[in-house]
Amino acid sequence: MEREDDVQLIHKILSGNDAAFGTLVEKYQKSVHSLVWGKIGDYHDAEDIMQDAFLQAYKKLATLKDPNQFAGWLYVIANRLCIDWVRKQDWMGRQKFVMQSLEDTPVAEIEKSSYAHHVSEQWDTESTEHSHELVKRLLAKLPERERTVVMLYYLDEMTTKEIGKFLGVSVNTITSRLHRARKRLQADQELLVHGILGDEQLSENLMENIMQQLENIRSKFDSFMEQAKSDPTSGEDILTEAYNQVEAALKGEITPELAHLADEIYEYMGKLGLEKSVSLHRRYLTVALDSKERFWSHQELVGSLAMLQRNTEVIEEQTRLYRWTCENMSDEYVLKVIDQLTEAYCWTAEGRVDEWLQLYNEASERLENPEVSRYEHCWFLQAGAEVLRANDRLDETLLGMEKLERANGKPDWEHYFGFWLAVRTNRLLVYSKREDWNRFDQVFTEARTFIEGELEKRNAGHSVNLYNLTWAAHDVGCCLLWSKKYDEAKHFLQVAVDLNDYDACGHFFLAVSIWASEKDREKTLCHLKATQDFVLNSNRDMYYPNFLETPEFSDVKDDKAFLEALGQK
């Protein structure tokens, strides 16, 4: 993109188009992450700082005087956050940055109890720590300015022109910094290769070939994403090519970069991708380099098993992950293990929800820790209440909603709306189950007033948060559908689909509402087909099983046209 594109996006954002900000995030997130990582030396904390930088940029966007300077302005925000991060670390002085070790926790302390049997016991601790020490030492040789350019050039694959634009300096300056950095590291390149990859006889270009392979796969996957976003019904051939390439790469050594890239690609491969994800993470857990990588991989493993409804394995793996996380990670990570609803429903399916609730109650004691974020606190309360509701513990659900509403606080919080909506939709479903239609109508009126008010403002040309509006219309429509109020459900789900035509889930529920209320064959089939058409819909495989389980479709379970619409030949 040229600078003019940033200007156009910023004007859209300031006019209320939040999706345009998502485009800016996609464009710059890798660059900001590489920039921050180069400054502080911690990959995962760099992700947190990157997110904070974009959040601040969003809040302060109206204060940016020259939209042409967005990239440099974003760099300044990220740099200030890095300074704040450094000041909080006792390890660093005020005058300069010192690279943090790439290992947060010694491997010998990470391998514990049953988790140690689950993951690799062949982990060569001494060799690994030596390799990381080499990487740290080599990067530490570079001045901060040169280190930043090296990270952006090699890890983010930015051109010198792009780096210059991002940092606000000339291309000649960037080229000069790269040249100086290469000269500083040239004498140590052979030591780096042998130190990391061992004593094998390696070709001179092996590292370059490995990075080029990853770059090719990433480029192919990025092409797929661009194609699918411009035309959501196309791009599967590009995705298949990226998938084939990543499968070939996985026959060799698995690195963090390769694991994360494969995980991204598998997300869009339906059931096949979920199966591949299970294999990927079982393998990656044997070589993951630090505790945060192990946590990420194990949580992805549990999630993939849950989507595949391999319930017994979900319970076993989630319990193992929970116990390991209690020993090795902060309280916020412990809460994240338990608050995943898809996994919780696997316990319910096996008749073991009481065991899940026991873990939930045990983990909830960590909510008292002031270091637990407000968002994680609220999400944990919401997850617990929704599991209780799904198991008809309705009084406890309402108590949970009261706790959530108190924790949510005032509307000026960035995440307030999501939890406000969760309270109302859960109350709608509780009152529907109890057939308490007076209270149901009171809550519904409140939610409907918000949606209709936002639609009126939008139709009048005023700025509204389209994401929140779409979210509310979808969730309220689903509540009405599950309460068998099909005509009203149809109205709100149509609003949601009109605002975001690529919402496959919304199309499915709208099809249910239309068939239940009108028996309009053409419209119903149109919306069912939409669930299969969007390439970026990672759950296309789930709609046919859902169709079979949906009572409203009981009269067309064997209808050829319906089956074809859902991709069944």
Q: Would you list the DSSP string of 107-132?
A: HHHH--HHHHHHS-S---HHHHHHHH
Q: Which of 178, 202, 226 is the last residue of a domain?
A: 202
311 touches 346 (CB < 8 A) = yes
Mean pLDDT across the stretch 179-188? 64
Reference 366, options 338, 339, 341, 335; nearest CA is 335
Residue 130's pLDDT is 44
344 touches 356 (CB < 8 A) = yes
The kind and range of the H/E element at 181 are helix 171-186
Are 198 and 209 found together in one domain? no
The first and second tokens of residue 167, run together, are 């940092």
Most confident option among 97-111, 249-263, 454-468: 454-468
- Please state, in angstroms and as integers, the Cα–Cα distance from residue 565 to each residue in 300, 508, 560, following that order: 31, 11, 9
What is the percent of the chain where pLDDT is above 90? 50
Confidence tier at 211 by pLDDT (50, 70, 90): low
CATH classification of the domain holding 145? 1.10.1740.10
Counting every residue, how long is the chain?
A: 569
Reference 217, options 241, 242, 198; nearest CA is 242
Residue 231's pLDDT is 87
Confidence check: pLDDT of 535 > 50: yes
Confidence tier at 185 by pLDDT (50, 70, 90): low
Residue 29's pLDDT is 86
Are 37 and 93 found together in one domain? yes
Provide the domain count of the chain.
3
Higher pLDDT, 509 or 16: 509
Higher pLDDT, 19 or 233: 233
456 touches 510 (CB < 8 A) = no
Residue 184's pLDDT is 66
253 touches 259 (CB < 8 A) = no
Tens digits of residue pLDDT in 266-310: 999 999 999 999 999 999 998 887 888 999 999 999 999 999 999
265 touches 251 (CB < 8 A) = no
Residue 45's pLDDT is 83
Are 81 and 213 found together in one domain? no
Q: What phi and psi, each to the nearest 5 degrees, are found at residue 538?
A: -80, -5
Are 167 and 262 found together in one domain? no
What is the percent of the chain where pLDDT is above 70? 83
Residue 164's pLDDT is 76
Query: Is 27 among the domain residues?
Result: yes
Query: Is 438 among the domain residues?
Result: no
Tens digits of residue pLDDT in 56-113: 888 788 888 778 778 888 888 888 888 778 777 644 443 333 333 333 444 444 344 3
Confidence check: pLDDT of 348 > 90: yes
Mean pLDDT across the stretch 200-215? 56
- Residue 153 gets which letter from DSSP? I
Residue 552's pLDDT is 96
Instruction: Calculate the CA 417 to chain-centre distance.
Output: 19
534 touches 232 (CB < 8 A) = yes
Q: How far apart are the first and last CA of the chain?
A: 42
Are 165 and 235 found together in one domain? no
Are 92 and 169 found together in one domain? yes
Interatomic CA distance for residues 567 and 562, integer angstroms: 9
- Please state, in angstroms and as integers, the Cα–Cα distance from residue 540 to each residue in 181, 528, 546, following that order: 48, 11, 11
* Residue 91 lies in domain: 3-202
The first and second tokens of residue 544, run together, are 């046919």
Are 7 and 97 found together in one domain? yes
The kind and range of the H/E element at 269 are none
Give the torsion sign (CA, 241, 243, 244, 249).
Answer: positive
409 Rama sector, left if φ>0, alpha if ψ -120 to 50, beta otherwise: left
Tens digits of residue pLDDT in 411-422: 999 899 999 999
Higher pLDDT, 133 or 281: 281
- Residue 267 gets which letter from DSSP? T
Interatomic CA distance for residues 92 and 100, integer angstroms: 9
Residue 194's pLDDT is 42
Higher pLDDT, 522 or 216: 522
Interatomic CA distance for residues 496 and 524, integer angstroms: 16
Residue 267: which residues within 8 A CB-CB, separation 6 or more?
273, 277, 538
Interatomic CA distance for residues 124 and 108, integer angstroms: 10
Are 189 and 261 found together in one domain? no
Residue 210's pLDDT is 63
Residue 107: which residues within 8 A CB-CB, separation 6 or more?
123, 125, 128, 129
Mean pLDDT across the stretch 498-522? 93
Residue 30's pLDDT is 83
Residue 316's pLDDT is 95
Span of 127-131, 367-371, 390-394, 402-406 with lowest mean pLDDT? 127-131
The first and second tokens of residue 196, run together, are 């990391």
Residue 67's pLDDT is 81
Residue 569's pLDDT is 76
Residue 154's pLDDT is 59
Higher pLDDT, 398 or 181: 398
Where are the extended beta strands (E) located within 288-333? none
Span of 32-46, 68-82, 118-132, 341-355 with lowest mean pLDDT? 118-132
Residue 23's pLDDT is 85
Residue 404's pLDDT is 96
- Residue 99 gets which letter from DSSP? P
The label of the residue with tokens 């930015």 reads 158
Reference 524, options 503, 546, 500, 552; nearest CA is 552
Are 126 and 250 found together in one domain? no
Higher pLDDT, 552 or 171: 552
Three-state SS letters, 183-209: HHHHCCHHHHHHHHHCCCCCCCCHHHH
494 touches 510 (CB < 8 A) = yes
Residue 98's pLDDT is 35
Interatomic CA distance for residues 363 and 333, integer angstroms: 10
Query: Is 84 among the domain residues?
Result: yes
Tens digits of residue pLDDT in 154-170: 555 567 777 777 777 77
Residue 274's pLDDT is 94
Query: Is 332 among the domain residues?
Result: no
The label of the residue with tokens 């309280």 reads 331
Higher pLDDT, 136 or 391: 391
Where are the extended beta strands (E) located within 63-141? none
Query: Is 516 among the domain residues?
Result: yes
Confidence check: pLDDT of 537 > 60: yes
Reference 349, options 306, 298, 396, 394; nearest CA is 306
- Please state, in angstroms and as integers, the Cα–Cα distance from residue 46 to each residue in 98, 203, 288, 294, 407, following that order: 14, 33, 18, 17, 28
Residue 141's pLDDT is 67
Number of H helices, E strands in the chain: 30, 0
Mean pLDDT across the stretch 48-55? 86
Are 232 and 133 found together in one domain? no
Confidence tier at 514 by pLDDT (50, 70, 90): very high
Burial (CB count within 10 angstroms: exposed 0-12, middle 13-18, buried 19+), residue 207: middle
Query: Is 77 among the domain residues?
Result: yes
Interatomic CA distance for residues 392 and 560, integer angstroms: 36
Mean pLDDT across the stretch 346-360? 95
Higher pLDDT, 121 or 60: 60
Query: Is 530 among the domain residues?
Result: yes
Averaged pLDDT of the chain = 82
Q: Which of 236, 268, 300 is the last residue of a domain?
A: 268
Residue 91's pLDDT is 40
Give the torsion sign (CA, 370, 371, 376, 380).
Answer: negative
Are 147 and 7 found together in one domain? yes
Query: Is 328 among the domain residues?
Result: no
Higher pLDDT, 80 or 1: 80
Are 105 and 233 found together in one domain? no
Interatomic CA distance for residues 363 and 331, integer angstroms: 8
Span of 81-90, 202-211, 213-222, 548-557 with lowest mean pLDDT? 202-211
Confidence check: pLDDT of 118 > 80: no
